[in-house]
Amino acid sequence: MARAVSTQRKTITTAVAWLLGLMMFFPILWIAILSLKTEGDAIRAPIEVLSSVWTFESFGAVQQRSDYLKHFTNSVVISFGSTFLGLLIAIPAAWAMAFVPGKRTKDVLMWMLSTKMLPPVGVLVPIYLIFRDAELLDTRVGLVFVLMMINLPIIIWMLYTYFREIPGEILEAARMDGASLREEVFFVLMPMAIPGMASTVLLNVILAWNEAFWTLNLTAADAAPLTAFIASYSSPEGLFYAKLSAASIMAIAPILIMGWFSQKQLVRGLTFGAVK
C-alpha cells in the first residue's frame, strides 16, 4: 500500500536521486555539449566551454573526415538485418517449443541459451580464418550472419516467453477452422504476438548496434559500422574532441531513444527469465 511520505523526506530523496542520475548521465550530456562547439573551444575548461559559441560545424566535419553516412548505413543494415534474419529463424523454433513442447524441449532451449555463453574470443580465430578464406571479411553479409548467430539464442528465448503467454486453444481453434500451419502462424500467432516481437526486435537491434567484438575484428573499412568507425578516433590527428563528440552523439542517439522504450524487455531478454 502506498503510504503518505513526508514532503521533507520526499524532497531529500528527489534531490539525491536527481543528483546521482545527472552524474550518471553527465558524460552523455557533456559530449552533447561538446559536439556543438568548435574544436578549439572543446578542449577548454568546462566553464569556458559553456560560455563559448555554439555551432553545428562538427557534424559536417565528421562526414568529411570519413564517410560517416556510410558507417551509419552499415550499422543500420547490420543491426536490423541480423535481427530480422534471426526473427525469421526464431519464430518457427519458438512456435515449436511453446506450442508443441516435448520431453526434450527444455533441454533444447537450455542448450540454445548455453551457446550464448561461449566467449567470442574462444572462437575468434576459426571464425576469422573462415571469413578470410570465404572472402567475408569486411562484408556486411558476414557481419549480419555473425551477429544473427550470437543474438539468435536471445531472440528465440524472448519469443518463446512471449508465445507461451498466448493460449494454445486459440491456435487449436485456428486449426479446427481449417488454417494450415503457415496460416496459423501468419494470421493468428504473429498478429497476436506483435508487441512481444516488437520488443524482441528492439532489444536485439540495440545489442547488435552496440556489439563491438566482432564488428571490430571482422571489418576494416567497407563494412565497418559505427562501433568500428568511432574506434578510429583512438589514434587521432590534431584536435578532435568536437568531432568525436558529434560522431558519438549521432552513433548513440538513436539507440538511447530505443533503449528507453525497451527497459522492461531488457530485463526479460538479458536475464533469460531468471528475474521477473
Partner 1 sequence: MATQHSRAAARMMISPAVLLLLCWMLIPLGLTIYFSFLRFNLIMPSGNEMVIGVFGHGLRVPGPEDFSGWENFYWFITDPSFQAAIINTLVLVGGVLLITVIGGILFALLLDQPMWGQGIVRILVIAPFFVMPTVSGLVWKNMFMNPVNGIFAHLAIGLGMEPFDFFSQAPLASIIWIVSWQWLPFATLILLTALQSLDQEQLEAAEMDGANWINRFFFVMLPHLARAITVVILIQTIFLLSIFAEILVTTNGGPGTATTNLTYLIYVSSLLQFDVGMGSAGGVIAIILANIVAIFLMRMIGKNLDA
Partner 2 sequence: MGRIVLEKVSKSFGETEVIPALDLTIDDGEFCVFVGPSGCGKSTLLRLIAGLEDVTNGQILIDGEDATSVPPAKRGLAMVFQSYALYPHMSVRKNIAFPLRMAKFDKAEQDKRVAQAAEVLNLTDYLDRRPGQLSGGQRQRVAIGRAIVREPAAFLFDEPLSNLDAALRVGMRLEISELHKRLTTTMVYVTHDQVEAMTMADKIVVLRAGNIEQVGSPLELYRTPRNLFVAGFIGSPKMNFVNGSIAAKHNAATIGIRPEHVSVSSDAGDWPGKVGVSEHLGSDTFFHVTCEGIADPITVRVGGEVDLHYGDTVFLTPASDHMHKFDDKGLRIE
**Residues 195-234 interacting with partner 2 (rule: CB under 8 A):** none
* CB closer to partner 1, 159 vs 196: 159
Count of CB atoms situated within 10 Å of the CB of 41: 19
* CB closer to partner 2, 69 vs 194: 194
> Residue 121 interacts with partner 2 (CB under 8 A)?
no
Q: Which of residues 137-176 bind partner 2 (CB under 8 A)?
A: 167, 169-170, 172-176
Q: How far is the CB of 119 from partner 2 (least distance, A)?
A: 39
Q: Which of residues 136-155 bind partner 1 (CB under 8 A)?
A: 149, 152-153
> Residue 135 interacts with partner 1 (CB under 8 A)?
yes
The count of chain residues that interact with partner 2, using the rule CB under 8 A, is: 18
SS3 222: coil
Task: Supply 227's cell numbers.
Answer: 562501433
Q: Read off the DSSP letter of residue 224.
A: -
Give the CA distances from residue 189 to residues 86, 101, 172, in Å, rounded to whole numbers and listed in that order: 17, 16, 11
Q: Which of residues 8-67 bind partner 1 (CB under 8 A)?
A: 10, 13-14, 16-18, 20-22, 24-25, 27-28, 30-31, 34, 43, 45-46
* CB closer to partner 2, 174 vs 202: 174
Q: Which of residues 207-236 bind partner 1 (CB under 8 A)?
A: 209-210, 212-213, 216-217, 226-228, 230-231, 233-234
> Residue 237 interacts with partner 2 (CB under 8 A)?
no
Contacts of 130 (CB under 8 A, 6+ apart): 136
Distance from C-alpha of 207 to C-alpha of 194, rounded to nearest angstrom:
20
* CB closer to partner 2, 123 vs 173: 173
Distance from C-alpha of 21 to C-alpha of 186, rounded to nearest angstrom:
43
> Residue 183 interacts with partner 2 (CB under 8 A)?
yes
Q: Read off the DSSP letter of residue 221.
A: S
- What ranges in 100-193 are assigned the alpha helix state H? 105-115, 124-133, 140-164, 168-176, 181-183, 190-192
> Residue 252 interacts with partner 1 (CB under 8 A)?
yes
Place of cell 561461449: 118
Contacts of 41 (CB under 8 A, 6+ apart): 48, 49, 52, 53, 242
Chosen residue from 50, 129, 170, 173 binding partner 1 by CB under 8 A: 129
Contacts of 128 (CB under 8 A, 6+ apart): 137, 217, 218
Residues that bind partner 2 (CB under 8 A): 167, 169-170, 172-180, 183, 187-188, 191-192, 194
